[in-house]
Amino acid sequence: MYYAFRSHEENFSQWCQDGYPGIPEAGREFVGNIDSPNFKPRLWRHQTESLKRTIYAFEVLKWRDLLLNVVTGGGKTQIIGGMVAYLKMVHDINQHLILVPNTTVRARLVDAFDPKARDYVFRVFPFFTGRFEHEKDILSLHVMRPGASPAGIRSANIILGNIHQIYEGRDNWRVIYENCDQLAIYNDEAHNTKAEQYNDLISKLKPKRIMRLDTTATPDRLDGLHPDSEMIYIYGIREAMREKIVKRVVVFRPDIERVKFTYYDLETKKEITAEEMPWEDIEHKKIPAVRYVTNPKPMEQQLAIALECLKHQRKTVPLEADGKPLYKPLLFVVALSIKDAERIKATLESMKLNGDLLKVLLLTSEEGELARKEAGITQIEPEEEKDIQAINKDHRNCKYDAIVSVMMLREGWDVKNISIILLFRKFCYKKIGDQIYSVYGQQIIGRGLRRINPMSDEWERCHVVDHPIFKHGWLWKMIEAYEYPERLNPGDVIDEEKIPEPREEGLADEVEEDRGKEEPFFDISGLPDVPEPPEELEPITDWQKHLDEYQYDLRGLSIEQTIRQIQSRDLDSGFDTLERGDLPDIRVKDVDSLSEPTIEQLRERIGSQVRRLAYDAITELDRNPDARQKVILQVVHDHLRKRFLLGHSLYECDSKRLLEMVWAVFDQVSHNFTNPALIASILANPPRSETYANSSGQAE
């Protein structure tokens, strides 16, 4: 997304030095208040900077549609609260519409803007002072909920809800349009909003909106679209780590020496062929990354690395006055499919940490209740919601050791004690010119960024366990990681004495200039190079031809990898660390040794995977899993019919052998259909409905 404020940086700096000229007296009082040492608790530097830039853009530049790109955990709620106070005090704006992506974020903001709540933002932060101090006690909140009366919108000062609840034609929209003549609009987690829908809504509200402020940590989406607003500030992960606003991120991955592939017949289980090769030659195998890393042995090894990190985190948690740990570090595992998630959960539950079997929470539901209803996809289970809320409320006594999630935890689930993130899925990006567009990688890391106590001197860490098959070097480079030729054991992290202080502001450019002469990104002396060039998404013009010609491997595959050492990267210090050492010898039960499923059970298992795949495919494309899922659902069912089921639909097929084949290769089908280039091509040229009318069977 274009950084619109770049040409105004110098004038803005001068404006601050000159005492904020050109704004009303009440505005200067507001800025003087947040600058004052008497403003307690203090705002973070970037929060104050965000407020000043928003005021400057609004008052001096006369811009009305603004965007703040602020890291997850960077306190965007307080920034919104500050602007609500400013517009009320300076311009007597009495109605503020706050849009959120899901019910979890909504619940968090209810706590922030409900005058009766303990964490009411205007009681915690003294934005209203002097002659305006009483305003904090008379502000009212209306929360838009499905089925609730919109009458409260007329008199409310703060209107909070999901954008789906105010589309034209709904009661909420009518009341807003007829009763809100001067409206300030705030879109929290703006990257979630489908650009054309949000822009259409904003266009309709333009005659009434005084100002609009979008906030997000990732404004650019994989489809290249973004909110139609002016980006005035960028405060990213690296800056936040430098100022200890978020956790310190360390990335671990195995450094693999050799790999052995054994292929076997899916029906007879007899070995067909085997081959062994050095890791450097793995590129020629063209094995889907997820299929590789979820193969039993590599999966166990990744889990072992994650448990080593979890052990270390548990040892280093500071103690409270009662002698007990301040919080319980959790492992967060990200899977691509329900099938993978269930296998990972079963494997984890067979493993021990400090002598006790692990307790694992499986989350297979995602955000977007409305979209799931439209596409027939199950909503989040109430028990799952309760479990997450319980973890949020009690960081010390959580009953779980790990959370396994399909795709990711949605925004607003602030599980602050997530201390390790283990990736079993690959992130992709799209490149337009020199700009990389990607959402999921940064969003996943964001789930582990929030600090337990941002005011504490104890700087928590988030360990990310990656795998070289994913080729995520581009992602770590996006957050400016550098090299560090040190060594450590799998159970250790980094010797604190060997970590230099975080770089001073302004030195990054000098370092980047020096790095221009360096060897490849992960240049570790004496070690073979790990292939790093990322696979950029290529457009698919004829999606039907792509699906008809896509090569599936119909053989079973067993993978054994010899790990030379564990490699880690500290994203704040910019250092890589390496050490030789054997992984723990973990013997786990065969999680796939379930009782033989019936034909009906196979149909239901595959049907569930297909429905989930349709949801995930749209989510991967633009994070808006709406009714377009129906198109993908139909295409997937037709693809299975043509390629595997001899012309039969899933729910008509009576061949157990064929259904078992589909189940065995479904990870490859998932890999195929989570390619955003394929999904974009299908949606750009959808099939004729009559052609697919009978393809989806009971899925409809």
Average pLDDT over residues 629-641: 95
Distance CA 375, CA 699 (A): 9
CA pair distance 402, 329, nearest whole angstrom: 9
d(CA 21, CA 43): 22
- What angle do the packed helices 25-35 and 45-59 form, to 10 degrees? 170
Of residues 448 and 643, the one with the higher pLDDT is 643
Six token digits for residue 25 = 């007296």
**pLDDT averaged over every residue in the chain:** 79
Mean pLDDT of 174-190: 87
| CB 343 within 8 Å of CB 299 | yes
Rg (CA), the chain: 26
pLDDT given for residue 591 in this prediction: 35
Tokens of 544: 């039907």
CA distance 310 to 414: 19
- Please state which of the ranges 141-150, 234-243, 490-499, 681-690 shows the lowest mean pLDDT: 490-499
Helix (H) or strand (E) holding 231, with range, is strand 230-235
**pLDDT value, residue 135:** 94
Instruction: Give the pLDDT mean for 346-375.
Output: 71
Question: Rounded to an integer, what distance in angstroms lies between the CA atom of residue 170 and that of residue 167?
Answer: 6
Q: Which of 59-68, 297-306, 555-564 is least confident? A: 555-564
Which of the four pLDDT bands, split at 50, 70 and 90, describes residue 526?
very low
pLDDT above 70 for 352: yes
Answer whether residue 607 shows pLDDT above 60: yes
Q: What is the largest CA-CA distance in the chain?
A: 83
Instruction: Name the band, by pLDDT with cuts 50, 70 and 90, for residue 522.
Output: very low
Q: What is the pLDDT of residue 27?
A: 96
Q: Which domains does the chain have, with CATH numbers?
A: 6-235 (3.40.50.300), 248-523+550-580 (3.40.50.300), 599-699 (no CATH)
- Banded model confidence at residue 616, pLDDT cuts 50, 70, 90: confident
Return the minimum-mean-pLDDT range out of 69-83, 364-378, 474-488, 585-599. 364-378
Of the candidates 219, 239, 185, the one whose C-alpha atom is nearest the C-alpha of residue 47 is: 239
Amino acid at 5: F
pLDDT digits (tens, 9 = 90+) for 208-222: 889 999 998 877 665
For 161-211, the three-class secondary structure string (H helix, E strand, C coil) is EEHHHHCCCCHHHHHHHHHCCCEEEEEECHHHCCHHHHHHHHHHHCCCEEE
Percent of the chain with pLDDT over 90: 36
Highest mean pLDDT among 78-82, 393-397, 574-578: 78-82
**Mean pLDDT value across residues 593-604:** 76
d(CA 454, CA 643): 54
pLDDT at 205 over 70: yes
Query: Is the pLDDT reported for residue 317 higher than 70?
Result: yes
Residues contacting residue 157 through CB under 8 Å, at least 6 positions apart: 88, 94, 95, 96, 139, 140, 141
- Residue 590 has a pLDDT of 36
Judged against a pLDDT cut of 70, whether residue 495 lies above it is answered with no
Eight-state DSSP code of residue 502: P
Residue 533: pLDDT above 60? no
The residues facing 274 across adjacent strands are: 262
Residue 252: band (very low, low, confident or very high) from pLDDT cuts 50, 70, 90: confident
pLDDT at 479: 63
3-state helix, strand, coil in the chain (%, to 5): 40, 20, 40
Q: Is the pLDDT of residue 520 over 60?
A: no
Residue 326 and residue 458: Cα distance in Å, rounded? Answer: 11
CA distances from 623 to 412, 531, 558 (A): 15, 29, 34
**What confidence category does residue 541 fall into, taking pLDDT thresholds of 50, 70 and 90?**
confident
SS3 state at 150: coil
Supply 43's token pair.
């705002």
Tell me what pLDDT residue 368 has.
Answer: 37
Whether 66 contacts 227, CB under 8 Å: no
Closest among 238, 235, 237, 216 to 226, alpha carbons compared: 216
Q: Is 19 a residue whose pLDDT tops 90?
A: yes
Query: For the ranges 19-33, 425-439, 642-656, which has the lowest average pLDDT?
Result: 425-439
Phi and psi at 435, nearest 5°, equal -95, 130
- What pLDDT is attached to residue 694? 43
Return the structure tokens found at 220: 């650019």
Q: Which residues contact 646 (CB under 8 A, 6 or more apart)?
A: 653, 655, 658
Question: Which residue matches tokens 């139909």?
Answer: 634
Give the Cα separation of 186 and 157 in Å (integer): 13
Report the alpha-carbon angle 253-256-262, nearest 5: 120
Outline where DSSP puts E strands in 47-169: 65-70, 95-100, 141-143, 158-162
In percent, the amount of the chain with pLDDT more than 70 equals: 76
Burial of 645 (0-12, 13-18, 19+ CB in 10 A): buried
Range 586-600 average pLDDT = 54
DSSP helix/strand/coil, 287: coil
Element (H, E) at 563: strand 556-570
User: Six-digit token pair at 639?
Assistant: 């693809």
CB neighbourhood size of 95 (10 A): 24
What number is the average pLDDT over the span 50-72? 95
User: What are the backbone dihedrals phi and psi of residue 47, each rounded to the nearest 5 degrees, phi first?
Assistant: -70, -45
Is-contact 425 351, C-beta < 8 A? no
Match 């990898």 to its residue by tokens. Answer: 561
**What would the pLDDT profile of 107-144 be if each residue is shown by its tens digit?**
889 999 999 999 999 999 999 998 999 999 999 999 99
Let me know: does 208 contact 180? Beta carbons within 8 Å: yes
Confidence category of residue 654, pLDDT binned at 50, 70, 90: very high
Number of residues written out for the chain: 700
> Taking Cα atoms as reference points, which of 296, 266, 391, 289 lies closest to residue 644?
266
**Across the strands, what pairs with 464?**
251, 421
Quick one: average pLDDT of 3-26? 95
Q: Using CA atoms, how far apart are residues 531 and 2, in angstroms rounded to an integer?
A: 31
pLDDT at 254: 86
Q: Is the pLDDT of residue 88 over 60?
A: yes
Rounded-to-integer distance, Cα 510 and Cα 117, Å: 47
Cβ pair 208, 173 in contact under 8 A: no
pLDDT of residue 275: 87
With contact defined as beta carbons under 8 Å apart, do 687 and 696 qualify?
Answer: no
Residue 222: predicted pLDDT: 52
Lowest mean pLDDT among 511-525, 527-541, 604-618: 511-525
Question: What's the whole-number mean pLDDT along residues 37-63?
Answer: 96
